[in-house]
Amino acid sequence: MTERLRLGISECLLGRKVRWDGGHKHDRYLTDTLGEWVEWVPTCPEVEIGLGTPRPPIRIVATGKGDRLVVRKTGEDITGRMTAWAEQALEGFAGVDGFVLKKDSPSCGMERVRRHHGDQQVTRDGRGVFAAALLERYPLLPVEEEGRLNDPGLREHFVARVFAYRRWKDFLATGPSAGALVAFHAANKMALHSHHPGEYRALGRLVAGAGTTGLGALLDEYGTAMMHLLRHRATRKRHTDVLQHLAGHLKKEIDAEDRAELAELIESYRQGVVPLVVPLTMLRHHARRHGSEWLRSQTYLQPYPDELMLRNHV
Ligand code: SF4
């Protein structure tokens, strides 16, 4: 990866005072840790449509004509303003590698946003109007809410998807041949396998058919299927399978003592005694010294910078 990641973000998460009450929702993990690798592309949809700061709060109201975005005090329906703005503003996010949204917001919230049914009943099954437009326009884009990123597993999953998406786009930018796609798939084999073995095999069948389909269509189909696959979270069991598979590629290269030590660490990980980083560090050590080119090329071994320490917590 040559340049920093570009991630869209709900602007209040950067600490800017754009919320309805004049405040912000600064998220230190995003700015201070992930921010080291990211160029943020911020937006505050409510400010952008001219509501100002501070402003009267708005909410989602469920009606017979679908969900509407409404100013609580006056009842003004601003859905049209928001969707019209989003339609043109989303063009500006065409090149981003992912998006972090503010949870619970009637504009930015991705899920479980409050929906008001009349004055009495409220359900938590709504989606912010801007978030809905974003997800519809860019269905493959990795998108997550900052609240969910407090969960180490969801955080690792999101960042892995973002880096994978970026690798894919960088790959496409090289003007790849069918042969290059085969090599790309081979290098990502274990990373993809850890998310969903069945869908990984389907991707393999797609690549095997390279040459029978037009290259443009093949790349489109592969990219879509790969990003769908990556929506599945890698489980402890799948990581264990992948680690054992990779260790198998070293069985002739390392001695019995090292093999036993590696197997023990993988088993400790399987049992939840140590985090993923422990067997993985040992595996990488052996792969670097004794591994085949194929083994050393696996993006699974280092899908994102170690400094993010994401595999220390899963
Ligand atoms: S949640 Fe979205 S609309 Fe609300 S202040 Fe943050 S960026 Fe603006």
Mean of all residue pLDDT scores within the chain:
96
β-bridge pairing 121-126 and 113-117: antiparallel
- List, edge to edge, every strand of the sheet that includes 5-10: 38-43, 5-10, 98-101, 143-145
pTM confidence score: 0.96
Residue 2: per-residue pLDDT: 64
Percent of the chain that is helix, strand, coil (3-state, to 5): 55, 15, 35
* CB of 105 shorter than 6 A to ligand 1: yes
Residue 41 has pLDDT above 80, yes or no: yes
Average pLDDT in the 118-125 region?
90
Average pLDDT in the 97-114 region?
98
- List, edge to edge, every strand of the sheet that includes 58-63: 66-71, 58-63, 113-117, 121-126
* CB of 159 shorter than 6 A to ligand 1: no
Q: Quick one: 291 exposed, middle or buried, by C-beta within 10 A (0-12, 13-18, 19+)?
A: buried
DSSP secondary structure letter of residue 77: B
51-95 tens-digit pLDDT = 999 999 999 999 998 999 999 999 999 999 999 999 999 999 999
218-269 tens-digit pLDDT = 999 999 999 999 999 999 999 999 999 999 999 999 999 999 999 999 999 9
Residue 1 has pLDDT above 80, yes or no: no
Average pLDDT in the 37-58 region?
97
- Best residue for ligand 1 mutational test, from 12, 24, 78 (most atoms within 8 Å of Cβ): 12
Span from the CA of 91 to the centroid of ligand 1 (angstroms): 19
| Domain ranges across the chain | 5-150, 151-314
* CB of 103 shorter than 6 A to ligand 1: no
Residue 211 has pLDDT above 80, yes or no: no
Beta bridge partners of 101: 145
Are the C-beta atoms of residues 99 and 93 closer than 8 Å to each other?
yes
